[in-house]
Amino acid sequence: ARDLLLKYNYPGNVRELVNILERAVVIARDEYITIDDLPFKPSSFADHGKKPFGLLKESVEELEKKLIAEAMKKAQDNQTKAAEILGMSERMLRYKLKKYSSKD
């Protein structure tokens, strides 16, 4: 994960790096951050110059799915508690759960 973080070109500068690390800490299942905890994968670097906006959208959605899944797990599938953990309304959480379940 360290090598991947060092190789990534941060279009958003330091703010983006801080955001990525904060989210990775929330998602991480263990004491250490792994590649699976990051919103981008090594294979994404090959496509990085071809369609950056599509890649960003996919990365954000992937990260959002992971965060929602982790919050639902921590809240034992209680949507009210999960929404509170995520800092969003229950309505928004239900919308996103429906959105991502239809994409699977």
The DSSP code sequence of 13-60 is: HHHHHHHHHHHHHHH-SSSS--GGGSSS-TTHHHHTTT-HHHHHHHHH
Q: Which amino acid is at 95?
A: Y
Mean pLDDT computed over every residue of the chain: 81
Phi, psi of 42 (to 5 degrees): -55, -35
What residue segments make up the domains of the chain, in order of their start? 2-103
Q: Is the pTM of this model over 0.85?
A: no
pLDDT tier at 104, thresholds 50, 70, 90: low
User: Average pLDDT in the 27-53 region?
Assistant: 68
What span, in angstroms and rounded, lies between the C-alpha atoms of 67 and 86? 8
Q: Is the pLDDT of residue 44 over 60?
A: no
CA distances from 102 to 56, 97, 99 (A): 20, 9, 5
Most confident range (mean pLDDT) of 47-56, 61-70, 89-98 is: 89-98
Residues with Cβ within 8 Å of residue 68, at least 6 apart in sequence? 82, 86, 93, 96, 97, 100
pLDDT tier at 57, thresholds 50, 70, 90: confident
What are the tens digits of pLDDT across the range 71-86?
Answer: 999 999 999 999 999 9
